Amino acid sequence: MDQLAQMRLFARVVETGSFSRAAKAEHVGQSTASKQIAALEDRLGAQLLRRTPRGLSVTDQGRAYYDLASELLSRMEAGEAKVRAVGRGMNGRLRVSTSPILAKDLIVPRLPDLFARFPNLSIDLDVSERYVSLVEEGFDVAIRVGRLQDTTLIAKKIGCLEALLVASPDYLAKHDAPRTPDDLNVHICLPFMFEGRPKPWHFRAEGELVSFSPAGRFQTNDVHSIYAAVLGGFGISQGPSWLYGAQVRGGALKALLPAYAPPLVPIYAVSAAGRRQRSAATKGFIDYLAGVLGGEPDLRKR
């Protein structure tokens, strides 16, 4: 197994938290995967992974190497997608479904670059929080966040979201900071409405995932309105580090309950199985998005 294959295998082990799942994803035996990671550690002269009673953990050296590997693999995927698209004549009109926040802050700002690379490609972008039916509504690609319900779709993991619980210093000056998720019951929460209901907030407590149903005087289905309300000191919200991370790092917001932070949430690009042969356009677009997310510290796969 060459260096690049070892790097990809190690990345899969970190992402899946399992030698067996990583081996399956890379189409090798579990014993081969274990030997190759050991060989990689020998070559680097560093321990990258630890086996614990609860499973695998990543060392500091392993995390640093994963960051490097993830960035290189994402760049390679994006480069290969560009070559494939040119070679196969990536053209046509794609119907793409995504959420408002990903459309506004991620996809639309990069359309000039996308269209410059692929001058024969056109995009019809449907922006909505709802989960469209790809086959019945004729969509080529949908961007989904979280666990996939429809196992018949062709899915590619293109990134991850980290959830942050945040409030402004002004809010915390008037209210004691919560110490546990249960304390949120006495706080002003800012729920995000999804399909007519507040979307639950998730936390990890004693190794298990627990849910909290936020309720408050102000609720909306617009992420940017919640963002403005949090910055304005109106209450507490849980949202992606991609949205709140810069404000936390700059001191405008405070991250709360870090010991209860939930697991990372996967981001998938999905397409219908019946459209697999549609051309290089669908695959090229998905690979392009994977490369874009790979360059975003708060969105890349990890």
Residue 64 counted as domain residue: no
Question: Do 215 and 255 share a domain, yes or no?
Answer: yes
Q: Which of 97, 108, 125, 65 is closest to 292 using CA atoms?
A: 108
Interior/surface letters 86-100, b for 16+ CB within 10 angstroms, e for the rest: eeeebebebbbbbbe
Tens digits of residue pLDDT in 13-35: 887 778 888 888 778 888 888 88
Do residues 233 and 85 share a domain?
no
Q: What is the pTM of this model?
A: 0.66
Tell me whether strands 197-198 and 254-256 are parallel, antiparallel or unpaired: unpaired
Per-residue pLDDT, averaged over 99-109, amounts to 90
Does 277 share its domain with 153?
yes
* pLDDT given for residue 70 in this prediction: 82
93 has pLDDT over 90: no
| 276 pLDDT tier (thresholds 50, 70, 90) | very low
Say what the pLDDT of residue 51 is. Answer: 79
Is pLDDT at 277 greater than 80 in this prediction?
Answer: no
Q: Is residue 208 pLDDT above 60, yes or no?
A: yes
Q: How many domains does the chain have?
A: 3
Q: Check whether residue 34 and residue 100 sit in a common domain.
A: no
Q: For the ranges 129-138, 208-217, 228-237, which has the lowest average pLDDT?
A: 129-138
156 and 167 inside one domain = no
Mean pLDDT throughout 40-46?
88
- Inside any domain, residue 302: no
- What is the mean predicted confidence (pLDDT) over 192-204? 90
Dump pLDDT digits (tens) for 48-77.
Answer: 888 777 677 889 898 888 888 888 887 777
Specify the CATH number for the domain of residue 289.
3.40.190.10
Q: Does 130 lie in the same domain as 89?
A: yes
Q: Is the pLDDT assigned to residue 90 strictly greater than 70?
A: no
Are residues 111 and 28 both part of a single domain? no
Contact in structure between 150 and 123 (CB atoms under 8 Å): no
Q: What is the pLDDT of residue 234?
A: 95
Q: Give the residue with greater pLDDT, 180 vs 272.
A: 180
Percent of the chain with pLDDT strictly greater than 70: 91
- Flag whether 89 is in a domain: yes
Contact predicate 239/226, CB 8 Å: yes
CATH classification at residue 239: 3.40.190.290
CA distance 264 to 163: 7
pLDDT digits (tens, 9 = 90+) for 143-193: 998 877 766 678 888 999 899 999 999 999 999 999 999 999 999 999 999
Average pLDDT over residues 73-98: 71
Higher pLDDT among residues 6 and 235, named by residue: 235
Predicted pLDDT of residue 87: 46
Q: Are strands 153-161 and 265-272 parallel, antiparallel or unpaired?
A: antiparallel
Beta strand pairing status for 141-145 and 265-272? antiparallel
Residue 300 lies in a domain: no
List the structure tokens of 146: 């979280």
* pLDDT mean over 229-252: 94
Phi, psi (5° rounding) for residue 44?
A: -85, -20
- The per-residue pLDDT for 83 is 63
Please determine, for residue 275, whether its predicted confidence score (pLDDT) is greater than 50. no
Between the alpha carbon of residue 285 and those of residues 85, 177, 227, 264, the distances in Å are 9, 43, 29, 24
Burial, 192: exposed, middle or buried (Cβ in 10 Å; 0-12, 13-18, 19+)? buried
Mean pLDDT of the chain: 86
Domain around 170: 163-260
Q: What is the dihedral of CA 271, 274, 275, 277, to 10 degrees?
A: 130
User: Which residues share a beta bridge with 204?
Assistant: 209
Give the 3-state secondary structure of residue 59.
coil
Q: At what angle do helices 223-231 and 241-250 cross, to 10 degrees?
A: 20
> SS3 sequence, 178-207?
CCCHHHHHHCCECCEEECCEECCEEEEECC
Distance (Å, rounded) from C-alpha 189 to C-alpha 185?
A: 8
